[in-house]
Amino acid sequence: MTNTDSEESEGVSFPSFHDRTTELTDADRARVRLAEVTRNLILDSFMSTARIEDIDAAVVNVLKAIDNVNAPGGVPGSAAAESHFTDRSPFYGIMNPLSMPMTMEQDESFGELGAIVGVATFTEPYEGPPGHVHGGYIAAAFDEVLGMTQSLTGRPGMTGTLSIKYRAPTPLHTEIVYRGWVDRVEGRKIFTKGTSHIGDTLCAEAEAVFLSMPAELMDRLRKGRDLSAPTQNQ
């Protein structure tokens, strides 16, 4: 890895926003349980072969559950806007019912900064070609893995470009291992590369460029999100 700028270059101003610094609260753990059950419901409803009357009964129960979720009088810290950045991820967020969830960890033995390893198993809601993962989800998972990878530089930012080469079809219900690493840094630009494998089979390769941003911008984005978020029962 090379860095053409000094340590004081623009963007070197705050640690990774992927790092959790607080423990889960009771409200957090309740939201994790809710996300897990909802995640199962998404898959089961998608694959259901139940009778029409049973599906209609399920709809009634789900509508009742929605009323409970939107009930007023929540405890402080239970709002989605107050959850940690990683909890909201559409791929590995434990409070996001749309996540798989993918697991993420750092491999410190790889290169100067280490690598990020993401492990995922896609199910039927993510299907593209019959029995295989939709290419858009494969690309989005790369964006998530490489997004965490670029944070290893200590100067995280946003995706500028993302390029995918699909090498082999990626089947559903099969463990996929994503790996991402920093190739080099040039000014605000962080160049990353990645691969996805099933066993020894290379399924796809990726290259992405991220643009470092100052801490003030991240704070402004958070505040804008919180101000625009819908209130309960809206």
For the stretch 34-67, pLDDT in tens is: 999 999 999 999 999 999 999 999 999 999 999 9
Question: Does any domain span residue 141?
Answer: yes
Alpha-carbon gap, residue 132 to 136, rounded angstroms: 12
How many structural domains compose the chain? Answer: 1
pLDDT of residue 112: 87
Q: Which domain holds residue 100?
A: 26-228
Residues in Cβ contact with 90 at an 8 Å cutoff, skipping those fewer than 6 apart: 96, 98, 99, 140, 144
Give the number of other Cβ atoms within 10 Å of residue 36's Cβ: 15
Q: Specify the long-range contacts of residues 193-200, CB closer than 8 Å, at least 24 apart.
A: 193/146, 194/142, 194/145, 194/146, 194/149, 196/138, 196/141, 196/142, 196/170, 198/170, 198/171, 198/174
Neighbours of 220 (CB within 10 A): 12
Dist CA 188 CA 9 (whole Å): 8
Is 18 domain-assigned?
no
Q: Say how many CA atoms lie within 13 Å of 39 toward its Cβ.
A: 22
The answer to the question of residue 51 being in a domain is yes
Domain assignment present for 221: yes
Decide if 4 is inside a domain: no
- pTM of the predicted model over 0.85: no
CATH number where 217 lies: 3.10.129.10
- Cβ distance 200 to 140 under 8 Å? no
Report the Cα 95 to chain-centroid distance in Å.
Answer: 11
Distances (CA, A) of 51 to 38, 39, 57, 64, 76: 21, 21, 10, 20, 41
Q: Is residue 21 part of a domain?
A: no
| Interatomic CA distance for residues 63 and 70, integer angstroms | 11
Q: Is residue 7 part of a domain?
A: no
Secondary structure of residue 140 in the 3-state scheme: helix
The answer to whether residue 209 sits within a structural domain is: yes
Length of the chain: 234
Res 152: pLDDT: 93
What residue ranges of the chain have pLDDT lower than 70?
1-21, 74-83, 222, 225-234
